[in-house]
Structure 1
Amino acid sequence: MVSEVENVTGSLGGVGAGPGISTAADEDVAGLAAGGVRVEGSAAEESSGRVQRTRLEAWLFRPAEAPREVSPGQFALLVSADENFVWVDLGEYTEGALRDIARPLALHQAAVRIALLPWQRPRVDQFDGQFIASVTIPHIDVEGYRVEASQLDLFVGPNYLVSAHKRPLPFAGEVLARASRSPHLVRLDAAFMLYIVLDETLAYYERLNERMQVEIERMEERALRDTSETFLGDLLRLKRFIFALGQLADQHREVFAAFLRPDFAFVSGHEVEPYFRDLEVRLGRLLDVSLATREAVNGAFDIYVSHVAYRTNQVIKILTLVSTVLLPASVVLALFSATFEGVPEYGLTALFAILATTLAITGVIVFSFRRWGWI
């Protein structure tokens, strides 16, 4: 019997590979591709053509004990006891590897199908006694101004959390370190572990934003020296790059809001709810900073335009000065080259008169320009 599945976020219609998901996902992918973002494919697409080395780490957390690694064969027994909590981190997996983990933990098949699909926008789906939350992890190449959006799927159930990702998780070590030293993990169970993972996800986005701010400062310094079209192209690529990061972060609004809904019982309660409310506030601050970062790119562009205008004005100023200085000489030479009866046109007297007049007028003009601060 197939159980009912509810899409909490409402971002995509249906579960599995049905038309609702494919249509919405195609639109999301097309929108991101227009912004220069590459999205990962399905598990089968990502594993084809290369040697797949699935990385599996499983940790058992118990009261008053240090975390220790466990094997998949122990999962079913361990999660059946309330005093245990198991975190499974599955990286660069194949479809078979994910299904091997799903069996002992009784992961819902619809949730497994969601994880195996190509990238989708962040979402939350709940099933019978468990749910899956999908978030986007950007992998960036700052030098090439490229972003790849990968999906982190979090399977959450009683006494366990499975984090599945087709690309290496940049902050897996930080998650384990926080979970190891947190006294609340076993008591608050999977909801608190979910909070730790999402909190580190936001911290990762914040670190990327800081890197972008450093890159913007570098571009602003470059704008004072470089007026070439190459710089303008790099600046426009950086702007699109930062916009793509902000777009990926903004897609998590519905997910974080879904955790605070009264009918979402998995994270309800006076002990857990404040943690997730803090996540929503932190996401709001992240989006504000992301918007400010995008505006800072416009500041770098303004510096570039001002520098180009200044260089142009300097060129025009020099040409104007040269034209002004040469104008009296042209007039004098034109005047003395005219033929008047009785005037010694080509004698030494006329030559010295031409030179003296030209130098005198030019000297007066140059002296006046320097006195006025024009040169």
Structure 2
Amino acid sequence: MPRLPRPPLRRAARSRADGSLAHVAEPDTPNVDEVESEGLRWINIERPRAVDRAWLEEHFDFHPLDYEDVFSRNQRPKVDEYPDYLFVVLHFPVYDKRVNRLNAAEVDIFVGPDFLITLPNEPLAPLQYVFDRCRTNEDVREDMFNKGAGYLLYKVIDACVDASFPMLRKMGLKLERLEEAIFEEEANREVVRDLSNAKQEIINFRKIVRPQRAALKDLERTKRYVTGELDIYFDDINDASERVWDMLENFKEVIEGLEATNESVLSHRLNDSIRVLTAFSVIMLPLTLIASVLGMNVGVPGEGSIHAFWVTIVIMLSVLTGMILWFRKRGWL
């Protein structure tokens, strides 16, 4: 059974933007935040470092491979069951504004009979929101903690899964704007670039959600800390995950359809331009033929006469007018 000591944690004060003080770990101090109620402890370690690993290894008897998974990159979502605890690895989408790209945030979770340890590899707003509510609101803390570690695990995962829906709504609105922009005359290059960015976001989102579906199903099937009435709660998480996947499948079809539509629109505009240029070329062809014949270095009727020149001009204008009227009648102009 993992040991659960309660050593005092040294913190350094840092001012927030609103003037309040936030406590952060010193460089050589474990960055451990914890909340306790009803005999249950929630320990949150954001961006665990070597000193945090040493703290965990000192106070918990977790398997060495689990520690390696926590501090390794690109670990796949999974659920490992041990006699005394569960080790869960999950991925959730986060939008990185610095590079304007959707990335995966990994959360490693240890679940025991009287503790929950969350270790996100980067700031995850939904998880931090739930943790802060438990820390600052006694009623919320008692409501979440008095049903055991399994229920607290459900609340954490449910908040992180539900955070995907606002991102998906924004993605849907972006696709709607792209659909309207496709038929605008002055947005060809921008539309192609935006379509490419939207498609990349959908691909990245799918890469995060696809392997997670199996892990959430495994979590629902396990009977360690997920028993009795908790089954229906974790089934709700699976339903939400499937809705996320269904929306991504629809977005994938939509973006592929928009790409095909955009290519058709570009091809149609190109055909219109080529048609107009071809029509003008054909219209000018008879005029070029007349001018070439009369410009030959041989004797021609009316050579040297100003009247013959004006007659030729009238003939060429008549041919030009006739060709334009005929092309317009056929719908080529």
TM-score by length of 2: 0.78
Q: Which of 299, 303, 308 is the aligned partner of 1:345?
A: 303
| Conserved 8 A contact 1:339-1:345 | no
| Conserved 8 A contact 1:151-1:165 | yes
User: Take 1:163 and 1:226, find their aligned partners in 2: how far apart are those partners?
Assistant: 46
**Residues 297-323 of structure 1: CA deviation (Å, up to 9, x unaligned):** 213322331232122112212212211
Partner residue of 1:186?
Answer: 145
Asked if residue 169 in structure 1 is aligned to residue 128 in structure 2, the reply is: no
User: Take 2:192 and 2:166, find their aligned partners in 1: how far apart are those partners?
Assistant: 26
Instruction: Identify if the C-alpha distance between structure 1 residues 183 and 272 changes in structure 2 by more than 3 Å, giving closer, same or farther.
Output: farther
Percent identity (aligned): 21
Does 139-148 or 289-298 show the bigger shift? 139-148
Partner residue of 1:284?
Answer: 242
SS at match of 1:58: strand
Partner residue of 2:258?
Answer: 300
User: Take 1:258 and 1:354, find their aligned partners in 2: how far apart are those partners?
Assistant: 89
User: Take 1:167 and 1:280, find their aligned partners in 2: how far apart are those partners?
Assistant: 24
SS at match of 1:91: coil
SS at match of 2:84: coil
Asked if residue 316 in structure 1 is aligned to residue 274 in structure 2, the reply is: yes
Letter matched to residue 256 of structure 1: L
| Conserved 8 A contact 1:52-1:92 | no
TM-score by length of 1: 0.70
User: Take 1:246 and 1:239, find their aligned partners in 2: how far apart are those partners?
Assistant: 11
SS at match of 1:93: coil
User: Take 2:299 and 2:224, find their aligned partners in 1: how far apart are those partners?
Assistant: 112
User: Take 2:98 and 2:294, find their aligned partners in 1: how far apart are those partners?
Assistant: 65
Partner residue of 1:31?
Answer: none
| Conserved 8 A contact 1:108-1:127 | no
| Conserved 8 A contact 1:151-1:166 | yes
Per-residue deviation, 1:143: 7.5
**Structure 1 unaligned spans of 5+:** 2-50, 62-82
RMSD between aligned alpha carbons?
A: 3.2
Partner residue of 1:77?
Answer: none
**Structure 2 unaligned spans of 5+:** 2-26
Instruction: Identify if the C-alpha distance between structure 1 residues 121 and 329 changes in structure 2 by more than 3 Å, giving closer, same or farther.
Output: same
**Residues 80-124 of structure 1: CA deviation (Å, up to 9, x unaligned):** xxx3222221112223224425655x4524343432333310111
Partner residue of 2:223?
Answer: 264
Per-residue deviation, 1:246: 0.6
| Equivalences for residues 136-155 of structure 1 within 5 A | 136-141=91-96, 144=99, 146-155=101-110
Instruction: Identify if the C-alpha distance between structure 1 residues 182 and 371 changes in structure 2 by more than 3 Å, giving closer, same or farther.
Output: farther
Letter matched to residue 56 of structure 1: V
| Equivalences for residues 1-375 of structure 1 within 5 A | 55-61=31-37, 83-101=38-56, 103-104=58-59, 106-110=60-64, 111-141=66-96, 144=99, 146-176=101-131, 180=137, 181=140, 184-220=143-179, 223=182, 224=184, 225-228=186-189, 232=192, 235-236=195-196, 238-261=198-221, 264-269=223-228, 271-337=229-295, 343-375=301-333
User: Take 1:217 and 1:283, find their aligned partners in 2: how far apart are those partners?
Assistant: 23
Instruction: Identify if the C-alpha distance between structure 1 residues 86 and 239 changes in structure 2 by more than 3 Å, giving closer, same or farther.
Output: same
User: Take 1:115 and 1:370, find their aligned partners in 2: how far apart are those partners?
Assistant: 72
User: Take 1:193 and 1:238, find their aligned partners in 2: how far apart are those partners?
Assistant: 35
Per-residue deviation, 1:288: 1.1
| Conserved 8 A contact 1:216-1:297 | yes
| Conserved 8 A contact 2:151-2:230 | yes
**Residues 216-260 of structure 1: CA deviation (Å, up to 9, x unaligned):** 4455455443444x8646644542342122111111122211123
Instruction: Identify if the C-alpha distance between structure 1 residues 258 and 342 changes in structure 2 by more than 3 Å, giving closer, same or farther.
Output: closer
Does 314-323 or 213-222 show the bigger shift? 213-222
SS at match of 1:171: helix
Does 306-315 or 212-221 show the bigger shift? 212-221
User: Take 1:366 and 1:142, find their aligned partners in 2: how far apart are those partners?
Assistant: 56
| Conserved 8 A contact 2:89-2:106 | yes
Letter matched to residue 85 of structure 1: L
Partner residue of 2:24?
Answer: none
SS at match of 1:259: helix
| Conserved 8 A contact 1:52-1:93 | no
